[in-house]
Amino acid sequence: MRSHIALFIAILVSLLCALLGSLISQHSSQQIRQNVGGDLAEVSFAMVDRLDRDMASRAAVLKVLGNLQALRNPQDTGEIRRLLDSLQQEMPSISWIGFTDPQGLVLASSNGVLEGVSIAQRPVYLQGRDGLFIGDVHDAVLLANLLPNPTGEAMKFVDISLPIHGSDGNLVGVLASHLSWAWADEVRRSILAPSQDRHLVEFFVIGQDRNILLGPRAMIGQKLELPVLGELQPGQSRWKIQRWPDGKEYLTGLTLSQGYQDYPGLGWTVVARQSLEQAYAPAYELRSDIIVLGAGLAVIFAFLGWMISGYFTRPLQDIASAADHLSAGEATEIPELQGSREVRQLSHSIRHLVESLTQQQTALGVMESLAHHDALTGLPNRIALEKFLPMAQQRSRLLQGCLALLYLDLDGFKPINDTHGHAAGDQLLAEVAQRLRHCLREGDMVARLGGDEFVMVLLVPEQDAQRHAQLVAERTIAALGMPITLEVGQVNIGCSVGGAIWPQDHDNLGNVLQLADLALYQAKHGGRNCARFHQPAADLS
């Protein structure tokens, strides 16, 4: 027996440690998912904001340059070239910048590249002569052959151009520039640099057409389709677990560009991702450590259990057996055990505790039932109704339905009560309650507010909510209109019903109940034994 107890303790501790490790790992994974997902959304926002700001600042620089007299009155092309060369040296991301005449012929450019060449058919000129133009990422084969390219990779550019007008307002030329798209990769590296933990994070810049503009070399130019991409709004950051085209799941943070100041943005989406396996690695390592630690603790506790079990095993086993029966809902008693003083005291204390808890549970059940139910009809009372309404409201929201509140008042009850006495009236109310129950569907409720007033709470579909409530009201009127046999004989009563729908009639449930009460007033004065529903003209102020 001692060996069995020791083995049991070892297994129990091992299972508890495994369960604890699993729970901690689960919790840690959830926290990691939240933290890493939030971080990915933040860094994607940081990068898209940086890209937008850089694009806006470069456009602003070109605007300032375009206001210089040297360009507005282009007499000295050498001076213009020196300005453009100086700007390129200060801003290396500008791969090429040039100034054209009104017909698109390049008059001056950085390093003299393309001077004397017409770019009249290129979008950078065609769009730039009409106003500020910021074009999306594209290849520029001609420039790529003329500009230095130490890496040998395909060069991509972003265009910025604007018209230059003279003092008389006439077009004197177009200031056009090509920004190297390698600048975006520099932004990516600068954002990742502060945190070494992000070395496993991958960045993507997605164009408005969902093509990958920046990312792993093998994926550039491919179309990326992720469900979450269609859910983003400009400037919005989100993170989700997404399955990528390679079949793996990644924590994915995204931000859609919203531009900056006057720059409207180009619809870029910056995506940051990290594989779930990499993100959850700390949680998996923690779980393994807990399991190893639990195995050691299991051995230690098993040995201690084997040492002390000889004296306590038998009496405690009897108590445990009785307790197991109680937990299973069986009627049993804790035995009065003989043995050491501590064991006898434990047995006696547990017996009294179980008896006390049983008595308290029984008393609480009786008190709760009395507090929430009408003593005469057995129906829920006003307190129970107030407790039920918020739960019904929440359930209605989950099911995307409505709540119909029917206010009921018996017609002809008072004469029966006055003629045959209160005993007959009580018997009549009990029969009415029974019939009202039969008119309800599962999940609905009927409560007695007092006297001969009742309230029905119905869960109805949003479409044709009033029609469904009308059917229940008519069924109720018909049921209560049938003769009722009492000890004093057979009697007949009627029922008037007032109804209102939440949230169609009012978004406050208390006000909807008032509207149902007003509708009941209309039913009582409209011929009785009928149902009236709230009309919009009667809305509460």
Pick from 514, 502, 291, 496: nearest CA to 401: 502
Q: Are 34 and 285 in contact (CB under 8 A)?
A: no
Pick from 224, 313, 322: nearest CA to 270: 224
Q: Is 452 a catalytic site residue?
A: yes
DSSP 309-368: HHHHHHHHHHHHHHHHHHHTT---------SSHHHHHHHHHHHHHHHHHHHHHHHHHHHH
Tokens of 263: 């720059």
Instruction: Report the chain's C-alpha Rg in angstroms.
Output: 40
Other beta carbons within 10 angstroms of residue 440's beta carbon come to 16
Distances (CA, A) of 47 to 57, 182, 268: 15, 14, 11
- The interaxial angle of helices 509-524 and 382-398, nearest 10 deg, is 110
Query: CA-CA distance, 80 to 112, in Å (whole number)?
Result: 11
End-to-end Cα, the chain, rounded Å:
77
Query: CA-CA distance, 26 to 33, in Å (whole number)?
Result: 10
Tokens of 380: 């829920």
User: What angle (nearest 5°) sits at the alpha carbon of residue 306, between those of residues 305 and 309?
Assistant: 75
CA dihedral 122, 124, 127, 129 (to 10 degrees): -100
Tokens of 346: 């434990």
Q: Which of 76, 452, 517, 539 is catalytic?
A: 452
Q: Are 114 and 103 in contact (CB under 8 A)?
A: no
| Residue that the structure tokens 């055990």 belong to | 337
Peptide bond into 503 cis (omega under 30): yes
Helix (H) or strand (E) holding 519: helix 509-524
Q: Are 134 and 263 in contact (CB under 8 A)?
A: yes
For the chain, how many helices (H) and strands (E)? 14, 18
Query: CA-CA distance, 4 to 302, in Å (whole number)?
Result: 10
- The interaxial angle of helices 382-398 and 341-372, nearest 10 deg, is 90
Q: Which residues are catalytic?
A: 452
